[in-house]
């Protein structure tokens, strides 16, 4: 798909990688643009800026399920609508202009990458005593 705008969902089932009973650092890497994360059907956080990472208190022994929803910016949708000649400017009391104060044309926008662009990584957090 050349243009995507909205929310994509990723899900993986995995066993705890090592016999580590403490906290873990989940690093999502390059995310476009914000994410909501669930571990074993429990919401654990929202990430919306670099670094896209959060601490997980513990992973259960056996199978775990990680679900990540990633939502991108709406500019891809605006560009696609403009290219198809569909109305998207639903403003009644304002004119939209570009930086040069000329009529705004979304068809010139770049298509932005969407979703998880790297594989998430789990790192055991070691407590230093």
Q: Work out the pLDDT band at 21, boundaries 50, 70, 90.
A: confident
- Tokens representing 78 are 């605006």
Pick the more confident residue, 102 or 71.
Answer: 71
Answering whether pTM is above 0.75, one says: yes
Q: Is the confidence at residue 30, as pLDDT, over 90?
A: yes
H or E element at residue 123:
strand 121-124
- Per-residue confidence band for 23, with pLDDT thresholds at 50, 70 and 90: very high
Confidence band for 2, pLDDT divided at 50, 70 and 90: low
Question: Quick one: pLDDT at residue 34?
Answer: 95
Question: Has residue 94 got a pLDDT over 70?
Answer: no
Q: Give which of 16, 44, 29 is closest to 119, Cα–Cα.
A: 29
What is the Cα–Cα distance from 74 to 20, expressed in whole angstroms? 40
The tens digit of pLDDT for each residue in 105-120 reads 787 788 888 899 999 9
Tell me the three state secondary structure of residue 44.
strand
Q: What tens digit of pLDDT does each residue of 34-90 get?
A: 999 999 999 999 999 999 999 999 899 999 999 999 999 888 888 888 888 887 777
């Amino acid at each position: 798909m050349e243009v995507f705008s909205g929310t994509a969902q990723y899900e993986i089932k995995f066993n705890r990688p090592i016999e580590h009973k403490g906290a873990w650092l989940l690093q999502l890497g390059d995310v476009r643009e914000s994410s909501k994360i669930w571990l074993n059907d429990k919401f654990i956080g929202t990430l919306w800026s670099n670094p896209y990472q959060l601490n997980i208190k513990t992973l259960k022994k056996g199978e775990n399920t990680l679900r990540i929803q990633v939502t991108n910016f709406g500019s891809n949708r605006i560009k696609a609508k403009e290219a198809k000649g569909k109305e998207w400017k639903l403003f009644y009391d304002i004119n939209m202009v570009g930086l040069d104060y000329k009529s705004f044309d979304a068809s010139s926008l770049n298509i932005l990458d969407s979703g998880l662009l790297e594989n998430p990584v789990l790192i055991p957090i070691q407590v230093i005593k």
